[in-house]
Amino acid sequence: MNRRPYLIATIAVALLALTCFTLSPENSARTKRLFSSFYTPLFSAQKTAQTTSDYLANQVIPRKTLLKENTALKRQNEILELKLRRLSILSHENRILRQQLKMQPKPEWNPRLSRIVGRDPSNWWRSIQIDLGSSDGVKIDMPVMANGALIGRVQEAYLHRSRVALLGDPVCRISATIAETTETGILSSCGGTIYDPTLAELLYLPAGTKTRVGDEIYTSGFGEVFPRGIHIGKILALENTPGDLTTKASVKLATNPSLLNEVWVLMP
């Protein structure tokens, strides 16, 4: 047996693996962006197939169901318009008060709808692929929401796609505040997240915390990555060991990302 090709292949693979592991995060992201372009035709084909299947599914819905849905949506729209009018008055008032107090104006966020096109192929990370990329204005660390609650942040932005690290992923740790007590902690993954994606942990709460089971959690706005006040979930249980300086709380996230098809990217 000629051993030369085996030796050359082994050395080449070892060198490439070593290069991959020692690459800087920027170069690694750049290489990933390059190799992600191989999937572009497949993602385009997937989008076309989804659009076609949606169109075909819409064609078979009975007219009666559509009319019923339309009436319900009209009513909901009227209620929401009333609420929006009230909120816009409050927002205007808030802006004037902030100006009078010489406080910085709050940034406006423009939500943009995006479809989920893929999930992390590894079981030890929790991330999704969405069909908006840097060409659509998506940037790293932009908040991603669904059903009125935060689900994660943009981790990598490619040209026509982005990868979103979900809450509960080890790389997606965020600062969260409990609405009732205004105490702040760090939302992180826990062992149960792998079984139930809506489970997470809130770390570093004060030892004598006044937080109770069922309290609502929101983004704190610290670190200026996420805007303040986005709903995250609620406290499921508290774990306070005597002698510990901090308290740990189990959190039930408001949205289960594995059941979603579409998400909102908050763009400034």
Partner 1 sequence: MKAFLTLTILLVALITTHVASAWRLPVQVLGTQLDPLPPLMLVIALRAPITTITILAIFGSLTQSTLSSNPLGLSLLPLYVLGFTVHINSPNLSHHHTGSRFALGAIAGALIPLMSLALLLLTNKEPLIGWFSLWQWSAGILSSGLMAVIFYPLIEWLDKSVEEQPLAAPFDTTTTIIRHRRFHE
Give me the residues that bind partner 1 (CB under 8 A), please. 5-6, 9-10, 12-14, 16-17, 20-21, 23, 28, 31-33, 35-36, 38-39, 42-43, 46, 117-127, 129, 155, 158, 163, 165, 168-171, 189, 191-195, 258
Q: What is the nearest approach in angstroms of partner 1 to the Cβ of residue 236?
A: 16
Distance between CA atoms of residues 176 and 20, nearest Å = 35
Q: What is the nearest approach in angstroms of partner 1 to the Cβ of residue 258?
A: 6
Cβ nearer to partner 1, comparing 65 with 122 = 122
Distance between CA atoms of residues 22 and 61, nearest Å = 55
Q: What is the nearest approach in angstroms of partner 1 to the Cβ of residue 33?
A: 8
Cβ nearer to partner 1, comparing 161 with 231 = 161
Distance between CA atoms of residues 157 and 150, nearest Å = 18
* DSSP single-letter state for residue 209: -
Cβ nearer to partner 1, comparing 48 with 71 = 48
Cβ nearer to partner 1, comparing 38 with 55 = 38
Residue 150 corresponds to which amino acid? L
Distance between CA atoms of residues 107 and 264, nearest Å = 17
Distance between CA atoms of residues 214 and 235, nearest Å = 5
Q: Which residue has the tokens 């939302």?
A: 187
On the CB side of 151, CA atoms within 13 Å amount to: 26
Q: What is the nearest approach in angstroms of partner 1 to the Cβ of residue 96?
A: 44
Cβ nearer to partner 1, comparing 23 with 149 = 23
